[in-house]
Amino acid sequence: MKNTEKQLKRIREWMDIPVGFKPGMKNSITDVEGVTCSHVTIVGDGIRTGLTLISPCDGDVFENPLPAAIVVGNGFGKLTGSSQVEELGEIESLIGLTNTLSVAALMQGLVEYHAPKLPALYNSINIVVGETNDGRLNDIRGCHVKPHHVAQAIELLSANVEEGSVGAGAGTVAFGYKGGIGTSSRIVPKEVTNEDRDFAIGVLVQSNYGGNLKIYGTDIKKPKEPQMPENGSCMIVVITDAPLSSRQLKRLGKRALIGMTNTGSIMQNGSGDFVIAASNYSQNRRNRENKGQSYYYLSDIQLNPFFEACADAVQEALYNSITMAEGVGEILGLNLEDYADILPLKSVNKG
């Protein structure tokens, strides 16, 4: 391995992506209208952690909950609020990601944000927070994420999403390389659904898992180092503006896991691999005061393009989470120039 200084580039800057649906303008989860995201990154002596927030829609998500679903690939992890999402088929809070031992702090911060805005008759809210364990690079037992960091993250919510070693991905490791936050999107054109508009699917991932890394089918192995399967976890958030029911979103979330396994994961015993899927299609956001609300959903026979788009977007987002992450100490960042002899890179001197 050359160990040259790593260039931080998204996978599309490194190589041409196999044919599929096109990404949105930002190639980001925020290509879905109304979605915003932010990170708070906490780095210090032995500390490398943080939190990531996703606001899934315009307006107050509690007043107008979204159809949603949870998919568990391998349940070795913590995803708060999942049982209520499973029972009711909707999400009513901002979505948070952090490290394993900071889930409670992130929940508390989100309660402090949502609780003052709850209508008078409501004394509960279902907070959704996921995690991966960043203890390899972070003093995780120090619990350095605090509730007040949530307020900071809310102020930073934006349509521009940073990737790599930021927020909840600051201390994560994937395939033995530095992991992190990645995002991508796909546009499903109206021509393939016979609807009157295009729809977007956006994904955001927190990569902290192992296996045998493959980049679009090419094995990426560290020379002179055994490729040992690694425990870890992966959080995947999928949001679409297509009118999908909670049942259909659960089906969509299962295809997100295909994108993960395409990168070389088998979802090992110690890996917590979860998908949060939601639709912010405005007509289907439940109005708590309107008992006679009507809904519109696509038919199941229209879903295949969404399944394909979801799997492809997750795969690309996971690659972005690694190629955009800077190395930390002995955990190197993945530099694709080191694999120019086996990968069809765009502009690398292979001489």
pLDDT of 222 reads 65
Least confident of 48-62, 187-201, 327-341: 327-341
Task: For the chain, give the secondary structure using H, E and C.
Answer: CCCCCCCCCCHHHHECCCCCCCCCCCCCHHHCCCCEEEEEEEEECCEEEEEEEEECCCCCCCCCCEEEEEEEEEECCCEECHHHHHHHCEECCCEEEEEHHHHHHHHHHHHHHHHHHCCCCCCCCCCEEEEECCCCCCCHHHCCCCHHHHHHHHHCCECCCCCECCHHHCCCEECCEECCEEEEEEEECHHHHCCCCCEEEEEEEEEECCCCCEECCEECCCCCCCCCCCCCEEEEEEEECCCCCHHHHHHHHHHHHHHHHCCCCCCCCCCEEEEEEEECCHHHCCCCCCCCCCCCCCCHHHCHHHHHHHHHHHHHHHHHHHHCCCCECCECCCCHHHHCCCCCECCCCCC
* Domain residue ranges of the chain, discontinuous segments joined by +: 11-283+296-334
349: confidence class by pLDDT, cuts 50, 70, 90: low
Non-local (6+) Cβ contacts of 219 within 8 A are 212, 213, 264
pLDDT tops 80 at residue 193: yes
The sign of the dihedral angle between the CA atoms of 73, 75, 81, 85 is positive
Cα separation, 346 vs 351, in Å, equals 14
Question: Which range has the worst mean pLDDT, 192-201, 250-259, 282-291?
Answer: 282-291
Provide the pLDDT for residue 292: 74
Residues 105-133 pLDDT 10s: 999 999 999 999 999 999 999 999 999 99
Give the mean model confidence (pLDDT) for residues 315-322: 98
Report the distance separating Cα 180 and Cα 315, nearest Å. 14
pLDDT at 225: 54
Q: How does residue 347 score in pLDDT terms, banded at 50, 70 and 90? A: confident
Q: What was the pLDDT predicted at 2?
A: 47
State pTM to two decimals: 0.96
- Asked whether residue 227 carries a pLDDT value surpassing 70, the answer given is no
**Chain segment 29-44, per-residue pLDDT in tens:** 999 999 999 999 999 9
Residue 310 has pLDDT above 50, yes or no: yes
Residue 293: per-residue pLDDT? 84
Question: Burial letters for 178-208: b for 16+ Cβ neighbours within 10 Å, e otherwise?
Answer: bbbbbbbbbbbeeebbeeeebbbbbbbbbbb
Q: Are 193 and 39 in contact (CB under 8 A)?
A: no
pLDDT at 3: 46
For residue 53, the cross-strand partners are 38, 96
Could you tell me if 36 and 157 are in contact, meaning their C-beta atoms sit under 8 angstroms apart? yes
More confident residue, 351 or 28: 28
pLDDT exceeds cutoff 50 at 330: yes
Q: How confident is the model at residue 27 (pLDDT cuts 50, 70, 90)?
A: very high
Segment among 126-130, 145-149, 229-233, 258-262 with least mean pLDDT: 229-233
Rounded Cα gap, residues 111 and 62, in angstroms? 12
CA distance linking residue 184 with residue 291, whole number of Å:
36
Residue 230's pLDDT band (cuts 50, 70, 90): low
Share above pLDDT 90 across residues of the chain, in percent, rounded to a whole number: 89
Task: State which CATH number among 3.60.70.12, 3.40.50.2300, 3.30.428.10, 3.40.50.300 fits the domain covering 11-283+296-334.
Answer: 3.60.70.12
Amino acid, res. 36: T
Chain mean pLDDT for the chain = 94
- Choice between 163 and 4, residue whose per-residue pLDDT is larger: 163
Per-residue pLDDT at 351:
45
Share of the chain above pLDDT 70, in %: 95
Q: Which residues contact 83 (CB under 8 A, 6 or more apart)?
A: none
pLDDT tens-digit series, residues 136-165: 999 999 999 999 999 999 999 999 999 999
Question: Is 241 a residue whose pLDDT tops 80?
Answer: yes
